Each structure stands twice: as C-alpha cells, then as structure tokens.
Amino acid sequence: MTTPDFWSIPESTLSPTQLAEKTAVLKERLVDITSRFSDVRFATSLAAEDMVITDAIAQSKTNIPLFTLATGRLHQETIDMAKITENHYGVVIAKAYPTEEDVQAFIDQYGMNGFYDGEEAKKACCSARKIKPLNQALLGADAWLTGQRREQSTTRVELNFEEHDDARGIAKFNPLFDWTEADVWAYIRQENVPIHPLHLKGYPSIGCEPCTRQVKKGEDIRAGRWWWLQSDSKECGLHVNQ
C-alpha cells in the first residue's frame, strides 16, 4: 500500500526586494489600524498566517494583544504552539474558553462527536466552542484582526483589507488579504518565525483535532477542514456576519 503524498510547505518565487516591500506594507497596515482604533485585538490560531501577523506585530511594536480560542478539542501541538509563541515573543496569549454550559448543551443534543452528523450539528459545535468565546473575547474592542487571505477558499475571494463586522458592530481587518500562500512561507523563512509542527506533517490549515486532517498534494488547502461535509464553504462561522 503506497503512502499518500501530502501537502508540503511551498517554495517562494518572491525576490528579497519584493518580500521586503510586502513586509513594509504589512507593518504599515498594522500601524494604520492602531492609529485609528484604540482597542484592537488579534485572534490567532497559531497557524502560519497568524504567526506572520504575530511576528509583524512584534516588529512594528504596535502592541496589539493576542488571544486564541481554546476550544477544548485542539491538537496538543496547538496547545504547545501557544507556549512556544509566548516564549519566543515575550507575550501573553489570552485564552478564550467555551462555557461548560454551552459545551454540555451541545453534547446533550448531538453527542460529543455529533458534528460528524451534518452541517447543522457542526455549526452548533462551532457556535459553542468558537463563536461564543470569540464574542466574549472581543467585548469592548473596537477592531480585530484575522489571518484570512483571498486565496484560501471560494468564500474569501472578495475579501478586503478592511470590513465592518456587522455581527459584533466593530471594524475587522485582514492584513494578509492579498498575500499568497507562498508569500506567507517566504516571510516565515526570512524572519525565522516559529512553525506549527502540524504544518510539517501535511496540514496547511489547522483547526480542532477531530475536524482537521492532512491534505493530499493537489487538494484544496482547506480540504482537510470538516472533510466529511460536501461543501465549498469550509467555514466555522467566525467570519460570517450574522
């Protein structure tokens, strides 16, 4: 039986000058955001795009606080990555946890792994473990950052740098909206940014452990997210205005 050939970190065709220009623009974006808004927060998954933004925040000295969604179903590697990032950058990453009540309500209705049963159950799990904690983590903020890129999926091709998050009534920014996957990895190599261990094992996109698998070469980079659902929309609801 042959071993599948999984996704691997892409090579970049960017010249050092092009990468320097992109990096300068990214830092300018962060400075612009913090000059316009008084309470900006960054939701990091600890995956590649978010590590680029974390590094740029540190280099630009914009002092944007970081938080991560501690869903209770993350890979151990992701939990460890939070500690690695904190130590590397000398920061504290706040943890946004789901409430016991919300998790138990999901389990009572669908079962612990009921999200495998369909889109409705998957959305209910993401609501309890991700969306509600995100809402709490953003209370009082007037803007937040994401690591979304246009190239990531069909649902993000119209993505802009700046949006209004109608669901939360605040500004939302996607500083890497126009970056390619190769651009992200060029930056990581250039700046020696810490790499999530699962990226080295064929995972281009990383979410909760039971809902994320390796991606074969040639598959869409988000094909490993909620792979049992036949849908072009590989989203959990965090980035959908409600």
Q: Kindly list the strands in the beta sheet with 66-69, ordered across the sheet, starting from the edge strand earlier in the chain.
A: 93-96, 66-69, 40-43, 143-145, 170-173, 162-165
Q: Which of 126, 208, 211, 236 is catalytic?
A: 236
How far apart (Å, rounded) are the C-alpha atoms in residues 49 and 72?
22
How far apart (Å, rounded) are the C-alpha atoms in residues 129 and 71?
5
Catalytic, 236? Answer: yes
How far apart (Å, rounded) are the C-alpha atoms in residues 132 and 142?
17
Q: What are the CB-based long-range contacts (under 8 Å, 24+) for 57-62?
A: 57/30, 58/89, 58/91, 59/27, 59/191, 60/27, 60/30, 60/31, 62/30, 62/31, 62/33, 62/34
Instruction: Look up tokens 């600890």; give the residue.
Output: 46
242 burial type by CB count under 10 A (0-12 exposed, 13-18 middle, 19+ buried): exposed
Furthest CA-CA distance within the chain: 57
Give the residue numbers marked as catalytic.
236
